[in-house]
Amino acid sequence: MAEVEEILEKDVSRRSFLKTTGIGLGVAAGALMFGTGIAGAQTQGGTVAETPLPYADLDPEEARIRAHAAYFRAGCAYATFYAILSMLRDKVGGPYNQIPLRMLGYGRGGAASWGTLCGTLNGAGAAINLVASDADTNKLLGDLIGWYTITPFPSQESDNVAAVKGYTYDAKEYVTAALPTSVSNSPLCHASVTSWINKSGFAASAPERAERCARLCGDVAAKAVMMLNEWKAGAFVATFKVSDETAGCLSCHSSDQIGKMACTSCHEPH
């Protein structure tokens, strides 16, 4: 019963209850069943520990499928968060079962449709932070964002997911054709969507645009999982570097701004 005693040690109020009711061993066994089953996941007062939660290797292609489908339930940020967290619920369980997956819905459309940070990166960032230290989160998410800004989306792999026969979800519009790709040169929803609209000719309200964002959810969720798997194996190396042009800007503008976005997306070179 060492584990039971350890759990009880962590909750003073529960011990007080034990003393006043005298229910004893039966309570202790009940307590064990409500534990997370994950060492270190609970702390004083019955609150979840403020340390990274356990990570288990995940399948990037399963993440791609889940994120793609989830986009149509509650948008892009929910989609990547849901994909990673639902898989961690399946493989690890415990504390992941108590984190509401709908929580990231607000990130849709670059946060309540304001067009700022692409929700796919927002949802992935929250998932990464749950399993990684703050320092590692900065490296992993920083590199994921950089990768996002220079990669053509949606990928052929995500086109394939959307084209698979028999794979269904409750989308109002269901586009199966391969889609044009674009490179955003920016982590902002606004710039990312517009770059694709300019390239493809579809309007923001077109089902193809929604499908493009759904496939982008798949791409980002799969990449985030690949990076996390590498990180867990001790093999992750950040590879993104800002462009020579942006590096040139930052050589003077390191003290008057925060950020790594490509400068000439908004500013004239001078």
Taking CB under 8 A as the criterion, which residues in 56-75 touch a second copy?
A: 74
Residue 166 CB, nearest distance to a second copy (Å)? Answer: 26
Using CB under 8 A as the binding rule, the residues of this chain from 78 to 97 that contact a second copy are 89, 95, 97
Residue 248 CB, nearest distance to a second copy (Å)? Answer: 17
Work out which of 31, 69, 161, 162 binds a second copy, going by CB under 8 A: 31
Smaller CB separation from a second copy, 48 or 178 = 48
Smaller CB separation from a second copy, 226 or 261 = 261
Residue 168 CB, nearest distance to a second copy (Å)? Answer: 21
Smaller CB separation from a second copy, 168 or 255 = 255
Residue 129 CB, nearest distance to a second copy (Å)? Answer: 4
Using CB under 8 A as the binding rule, the residues of this chain from 36 to 55 that contact a second copy are 45-51, 53
What's CA 222's distance to the chain center, in Å?
Answer: 10
Q: CA of 61: how far to CAs of 131, 157, 177, in Å?
A: 20, 9, 19
Structure-block tokens of residue 235:
């093999």
187 near a second copy, judged by CB under 8 A = yes
Work out which of 58, 101, 162, 214 binds a second copy, going by CB under 8 A: 101
What's CA 31's distance to the chain center, in Å?
Answer: 32
174 near a second copy, judged by CB under 8 A = no
Work out which of 162, 189, 220, 221 binds a second copy, going by CB under 8 A: 189
Smaller CB separation from a second copy, 47 or 156 = 47
Q: Per-residue x/- mask for a second copy, residues 204 to 243, rule CB under 8 A? A: xx--------------------------------------
Q: Per-residue x/- mask for a second copy, residues 102 to 131, rule CB under 8 A? A: xxxxxxxxxxxxxxxx---xx--xx-xxx-
Smaller CB separation from a second copy, 99 or 171 = 99
Q: How far apart are CA 47 and CA 62, in angstroms?
A: 31
Residue 179 CB, nearest distance to a second copy (Å)? Answer: 17
Residue 128 CB, nearest distance to a second copy (Å)? Answer: 6
212 within 8 A of 179, measured Cβ to Cβ? yes
Helix, strand or coil, per DSSP, at residue 39: coil
Size of the site for a second copy (CB under 8 A): 82
What is the residue-wise DSSP string for 232-266?
Answer: HTT---------HHHHHHHHHTTSS----S-GGGT
For residue 172, give the DSSP letter: S
> Would residue 201 be called left, alpha or beta, if left means φ above 0 and alpha means ψ between -120 and 50 degrees?
left
In the numeric block, the tokens 């199966």 are attached to 176
What is the residue-wise DSSP string for 182-230?
Answer: B--SSSBHHHHHHHHHHHH---TTSHHHHHHHHHHHHHHHHHHHHHHHH
Q: How far apart are CA 102 and CA 59, in angstroms?
A: 22
